Chain A
Amino acid sequence: MDPDRKRKIRLVVALGVAVLLAGALVYTSFSASTEAKQPSQLLNAAPGSSYDLTGRVVKGSVRHRGEGIRFRVADRDDPSQSIPVTYSGTIPDPFRGGREIVLTGTVERGVFVGERDTLVTKCPSKFTTEGSGANEG
């Protein structure tokens, strides 16, 4: 076969494979992702579906209960919108009141029940003083 033709065919095949793979990538990413919600968006959430809760842990709300912890999470920008959360599993070191977290789980009777070991706490790069929470996170 003419080498130029062979090259062209090879190129088309390679591009076809790449397009197919990219399609699979796009498709699976939309089906595998979980929606991130702030507490205010979860107040009327459908029970049973899984969400990623993101927001700020309300200061002073963390209570240790046997194996797990209970705390409240508020919207990042609106501390008045908050939801109670229960969680058991590993607690990341940076976790504490005032920090931003991401937690996967479901809403059951107005309480966000976190899945085991899905708590992610944002790692602060420095200490911030009380009250200047906006710089933190």
Chain B
Amino acid sequence: MKADLGSVALALAFLTAVGAAVAALAGRDGNRRWVDLSRRAVYGLCALLTLCVVLIEIAFASDDFSLNIVQQHSSLETPAFYKLAAMWSSQEGSLLLWAWVLSIAASLALYATRNKLREIVPYATAVMAGVAAFFTGLMLFAGGVNPFASLSPAPADGIGLNPLLQHPSMMIHPPMLYSGYVALTIPFAFAIGALIARRLDAAWIRSTRRFALIAWAFLGFGLLLGARWSYTELGWGGYWAWDPVENAALMPWLMATAFLHSIMVQEKRGMLKVWNACLIVGTFSLALLGTFLVRSGVLQSIHAFGDSTVGPYILGLIAVVLIGSTALIVSRLDDLRSEKRIDSLASREAVFLVNNLLLVAITAVIFWGTFFPLISELFTGEKSSLAAPWFDSYTTPLAIALVLFTGIGPLLAWRRVSWASARRVFLVPTVIATVVALGLVLFTDAADSPWALALFAFAAFALTGLAQEFWRGAAARRALRGGSLPAALVAIVSRNRRRYGGYIVHVGVVVLLIGIAASSSFQTNRDVRLRPGESAVIDGRTVTYERPTVSVNDNAITLGAVLSVEQDGKRFLLEPSRRFFRPTGVETGTIGSFFDGEATSEVGLRAGPGSDLWTAVQPDISALSRRVRAADRGFRECVSGAAGSPPQCRAVSRLMRAAAANPRLRPFALAQIDSLQAAVAQRLARTYLTDTAPATFRVIVDPLVTWIWVGGLIALCGALIALWPARSARRRPVADTELEALKEAKYREIRDAELDHAAGKLSDEDFALLDAELRREAVEILDRANGDGRPKQQPAEPV
């Protein structure tokens, strides 16, 4: 029933997507009826895919194992929360998620632009609907990935969800990354639309900037969750491994970061148009590549998702996107000429250009390293791979340079800054950075790692610069309007959300990088082997293995340890453990199999602002396994009915004989044996308590690692502030015309310059020049608005 309804809905969704693309193209010459139809078709697509998702979720919630997807990824015992999230642990479910999120984002984008960008929207709609048709078509026709594939007869139970994945952050992490990938489709589609329609001013950027920022925030949050999960769940103590799938999410994030900066240059100065078009095409291709890598298995990754049927199709789509977009950009090079040039190297746009180059360079390094196994196979015939040190040796200096320019950028004004004004704003940050560097050299061992030292100094520079921005902004506001300092801070942030939200993102990213630099350069990582009662001294902390612990429940046997730690005169306990999950979906047959299932580490973690103490335990179960093997031997003898076996044995072998004679009794007999074996396994597990076996502990003292998570959250808050619609926009949800938007943007630029002047970033002469220039441009826009009331096809001529 669900399967039938779902299949129909999915097929209709595919047809609707194709129809929307066709209708949009039919309306490319401005026929409103076709354009309206295509927009409504996208809304309809969203409704149909929502129905599909709801049906799948109902099937998961009601344990409908007649659906293949439910049977493969859920079971009766799976906790309810994970049942709902199990959809995207499957290939077909994640494709459905892709299409569904895309249909939502496309509907929002089309709703927001329903009265704008008339020339661009039809093409953008066609691109978005085309991508949606691709993914829905994939589910229908690629084979083996239809989420509504059903099983007949329906099995009684499902296989269940891997316990490793049963972690709250693992449930949010994939949809976050997917949403990030998907949201990048919107700016890409509008960029393509702008290219085809030759409307290459900043109008398409203004309408889709928000989607790029949302994508950036989703991707970033997804990466952060993945890192956090790795740190607390995987038992190796790290948060980043330069694994292909991690890189696949990091690359579009870095490119999106570059894009978000360079579009500001196009918005304000009409420059970097070719660059922006290339960036968004690259970013979207990398997002598709991420989806492909996750689903193809071409690279050896710790994330293994199975070789799948959809890989080649996605690769085909990437090829179409790359070739088509490149041809389009080349054919539009004349229209993409900059309206202006960079006036001075001491300007914000020049620094943005440098930061863009750095971000793209980092992406290129990661791309090369990620695909090196394929490249080396091409040239040498051998698959060779690059390890973390190679990645570090390139990304570290690039990231440090990036921090420096992150610090410089906000201190400079647009267009040009005289050296006199630059000196004024650079003075305090430079002094503070020098003092911090000297202090670190004199009082800590930071000098052991020159890269880390450089990063700390530049980070101090950047943070001081940002603090100065807030301080001067608030001071200027108070000089104008009075009021308290906090009130002035709130006022400037809420009146300039994009600017100050962006600054808060910078603060978060710099803090995050400080955490990464400190924890990777100054980490103490020791493996110690201790018997109960023994202790070890690690980085000034005394760690004592107090006693082993065992706990058993229906689906797992947990062997752990109680550690007592003395740190700075304080004493606390940590309880790392290793949990052996019972294999499911398998006829076990041996007691040993209870220890062969999935195992997960529960780390003992003491987090703090200064440093984290991270512990994991690797219990030595060799003695225990010997006893388990002996028990298995005994069990086999017992079942075979050998002479002299104890009475319970005779009961078991009678049961087996009865089962052999009567197939209907077999499941019952197996269940009996299974529960008997489970009881034995649990009893044997308890003997671990008296083993006094040594256990291997990994103890990590990780300085400042907490700041990675804090920094990430600060950056997320900053992104939210920058995304929040300004008060004026909320009152008037639709900017009436594009010209109106252009006017607003110019007014904002004038306000920005006034703020920069008031904050001392622009000297009086600089400001006078800039202000006159901006006002001339504003008058030009007003003239156009008052003239024929329609925007000209071409943007303003270069001044």
Contact = CB atoms under 8 A, between A and B. Distances in A.
Interface in B354-369: 361, 364-365, 368-369
Interface in B225-242: 233-237, 241
12 contacts: A25-B365, A28-B393, A35-B382, A52-B385, A60-B596, A64-B620, A66-B622, A67-B529, A90-B616, A92-B235, A125-B306, A126-B161
Contact of B234 (A93, A102, A135): A93
A129 B303 CA distance: 19
Interface string A89-127: 111111111001010100000000000010011111111
Interface string B709-728: 00000000000000000000
Contact of B585 (A34, A67, A129): A129
Interface string B525-553: 00101000000000000000000000000
B698 interface: yes
Contact of A123 (B73, B159, B304, B394): B304
Nearest to B73: A126
Given A35-B384, A96-B599, A126-B72, 7 more contacts: A34-B387, A36-B373, A90-B616, A94-B164, A102-B300, A124-B162, A127-B159
Contact of B698 (A30, A52, A65, A90): A90
A122 B89 contact: no
A84 interface: no
Contact of A127 (B385, B584, B618): B584
B386 A32 contact: yes
A96 B164 contact: no
A25 B375 CA distance: 13
Contacts of B696: 67
A80 interface: no
B164 A123 contact: yes
A29 interface: yes
B81 interface: no
A72 to B, nearest CB: 15
A2 interface: no
Given A92-B235, A122-B303, A35 B586 contact: no
Contacts of A130: 586
B164 A64 contact: no
A102 B305 CA distance: 16
B377 to A, nearest CB: 9
A95 B301 CA distance: 14
B698 A33 contact: no
Interface of B: 72-73, 89-90, 159-162, 164-165, 233-237, 241, 297, 300-306, 361, 364-365, 368-369, 372-373, 376, 380, 382-387, 389-390, 393-394, 527, 529, 584-586, 596-601, 616, 618, 620-622, 625, 696, 698
Contacts of B698: 90
A21 interface: yes
B388 to A, nearest CB: 11
Interface of A: 21-22, 25-26, 28-30, 32-36, 52, 54, 60, 63-67, 89-97, 100, 102, 104, 117, 120-130, 135-137
A25 B596 contact: no
A96 B596 contact: yes
Contact of A34 (B368, B384, B621): B384
Contacts of B390: 28-29, 32-33
Contact of A29 (B72, B368, B383): B368
Nearest to A65: B622
Contacts of B159: 126-129
A64 B622 contact: yes
A60 B625 CA distance: 12
Contacts of A66: 620, 622
Contacts of A121: 302
B625 A64 contact: yes
A36 B622 contact: no
Nearest to A122: B304
Contact of A126 (B162, B373, B389, B393): B162
A67 B620 CA distance: 7
Contacts of B73: 126
A87 to B, nearest CB: 12
A35 B387 contact: no
A35 B380 CA distance: 10
A93 B599 contact: yes
B621 A64 contact: yes
Given A29-B372, A36-B300, A127 B162 contact: yes
Contacts of A102: 300, 385
List 5 tightest A-B contacts by C-beta distance, closest first: A33-B384, A122-B304, A64-B622, A32-B390, A36-B383
Contacts of A91: 235, 618
A33 B372 contact: yes
Contacts of A97: 596
A133 B57 CA distance: 28
A93 B620 CA distance: 15
A36 B300 CA distance: 10
Contacts of A125: 89, 162, 165, 303-306
A32 B164 contact: no
A127 B302 CA distance: 15
